[in-house]
C-alpha cells in the first residue's frame, strides 16, 4: 500500500471539493431558478467533461495552462507559480472535470423545491439570504451531499486527466490510481490489489449513501 499516494489522493479530493462546492452551488442554483439567453449552451458546456475522454480534457488543460500558454506565462511571471506537473494543477483539473458531477445533483435538488414554498417564504417576510439558509440549503441538502460524495470519490479515482496534467511525481502528483497503475507495471499485484480493493469499498459506500439520499429526496418531494 502506497500511503503517500493515498494521503495525496485524499488531500486532492478534499481541496478540490472545498473549492468546487461554492462554485457549483451558485451555478446549480442559477441554472435551476433563472432563465437566460444561452442557458442550453452553458448547460451543454458544463456537461462536456462527462462525455469526453479524460485524456482530451487533460490535453486541453495541459495546452491551456502550460508554460507556453498565456495563463501559464502570466502565473509564472507574476506569482512564480506553475500548474502543470504540480498539485495546484491537479486541483484545477479535478475541479473542471468534476463540475458536471456536482452541478447536476445540486441543480436538480434546487429545482425540486416547489416554487410555492419560496413564494410563501418571500410573503412571510423572509429575506433572500434567509430563504437560502433556512429553506433552500436544508431542502437541497441531499442533492448537495450527493454532489460532495460523488465528486470526492470521483477525484479519488481519477486517472487520465491526472496523468496528463501531473504525471506521476511522488508526493506531488502521484495519486492512488496512478500508484495502482505503477504497481501493476512493476508486477506488484499485491499492492495494486490492496489499493484497488480500498477504492472499490470506498466507491460502494459512497454510492450507497448517495442512492439512499436521492430516495429520501424523492420521498420528500412527492
Partner 1 sequence: MKLINPSSNAALQVRIDQQQGIPLRAEFRCAAGELLAVVGPSGGGKTTLLRMIAGLSTPQSGEIRCGEQIWYNEQQCLTPQQRHLGYVPQHFGLFPHLNAEANVMAALDHLPKAERRAQARDWLRRVNLDGFPERLPHQLSGGQKQRVALARALARNPQVLLLDEPFSAVDRGTRERLYVELAQLKAKLNIPVIMVTHDINEAVLLADRVVLISQGAMLQQGEPLAVMAKPHNELVARHMGLRNIFDARVVALESNEQLAWLQFGEQRIACENPGHLQLGMQLRWVIPNQGVRFNSISQGRLPRSFNKLQVTIESMLVMGDLVRIATSVAGVEHPLQAEVSLNLAQKLGFHEGMQTEVALKSDMIHLFRHRA
Q: Which residue has the cell 495502482?
A: 180
Using the rule CB under 8 A, is 126 a contact of partner 1?
A: yes
Site size toward partner 1, by CB under 8 A: 18
The correct pick among 135, 184, 198, 203 for binding partner 1 (CB under 8 A) is 135
Residue 120 Cβ, how far from partner 1 at the closest point, in Å? 3
| Interface segment toward partner 1; rule CB under 8 A; list 66-74, 76-84, 100-108, 123-131 | 123-131
Q: Say if residue 159 is exposed, middle or buried (CB neighbours under 10 Å; 0-12, 13-18, 19+).
A: middle
Q: Say if residue 222 is exposed, middle or buried (CB neighbours under 10 Å; 0-12, 13-18, 19+).
A: exposed
Using the rule CB under 8 A, is 216 a contact of partner 1?
A: no
Please give the distance of CA 59 from its chain centroid, rounded to a whole number: 18
| Interface segment toward partner 1; rule CB under 8 A; list 47-55, 56-64, 126-134, 192-200 | 126-134
Q: Which is nearer to partner 1, 67 or 130 (CB)?
A: 130
Using the rule CB under 8 A, is 213 a contact of partner 1?
A: no
Judge whether 195 and 183 are in contact, CB under 8 Å: yes
Question: Which cell numbers in the block locate residue 153?
Answer: 470519490
According to DSSP H, which parts of 34-127 are helical?
39-51, 54-65, 70-79, 87-111, 115-123
Q: Which is nearer to partner 1, 53 or 138 (CB)?
A: 138
Mark 48-58 as b/e (b = at least 16 C-beta within 10 Å).
ebeeeebeebb
Q: Which is nearer to partner 1, 51 or 222 (CB)?
A: 222
Using the rule CB under 8 A, is 122 a contact of partner 1?
A: yes
Using the rule CB under 8 A, is 218 a contact of partner 1?
A: no
The correct pick among 74, 114, 170, 197 for binding partner 1 (CB under 8 A) is 114
Residue ranges binding partner 1 (CB under 8 A): 114, 116-117, 119-127, 130, 134-135, 138-139, 220
Amino acid at each position: 500500500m502506497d500511503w503517500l499516494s493515498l494521503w495525496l489522493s485524499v488531500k486532492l479530493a478534499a481541496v478540490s471539493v472545498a473549492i468546487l462546492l461554492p462554485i457549483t452551488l451558485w451555478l446549480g442554483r442559477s441554472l435551476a431558478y433563472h432563465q437566460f439567453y444561452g442557458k442550453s449552451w452553458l448547460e451543454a458546456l458544463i456537461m462536456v467533461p462527462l462525455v469526453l475522454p479524460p485524456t482530451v480534457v487533460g490535453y486541453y488543460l495541459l495546452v491551456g495552462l502550460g508554460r507556453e500558454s498565456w495563463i501559464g506565462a502570466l502565473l509564472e511571471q507574476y506569482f512564480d507559480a506553475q500548474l502543470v506537473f504540480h498539485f495546484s494543477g491537479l486541483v484545477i483539473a479535478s475541479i473542471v472535470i468534476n463540475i458536471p458531477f456536482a452541478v447536476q445533483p445540486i441543480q436538480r435538488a434546487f429545482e425540486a423545491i416547489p416554487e410555492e414554498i419560496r413564494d410563501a417564504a418571500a410573503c412571510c417576510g423572509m429575506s433572500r439570504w434567509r430563504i437560502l439558509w433556512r429553506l433552500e440549503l436544508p431542502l437541497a441538502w441531499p442533492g448537495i451531499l450527493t454532489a460532495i460524495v460523488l465528486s470526492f470519490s470521483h477525484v479519488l479515482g481519477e486517472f487520465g486527466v491526472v496523468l496528463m496534467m501531473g504525471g506521476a511525481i511522488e508526493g506531488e502528483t502521484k495519486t492512488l490510481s496512478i500508484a495502482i497503475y505503477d504497481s501493476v507495471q512493476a508486477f506488484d499485484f499485491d499492492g495494486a490489489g490492496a489499493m484497488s480493493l480500498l477504492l472499490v469499498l470506498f466507491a460502494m459506500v459512497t454510492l450507497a449513501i448517495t442512492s439512499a439520499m436521492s430516495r429520501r429526496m424523492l420521498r420528500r418531494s412527492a
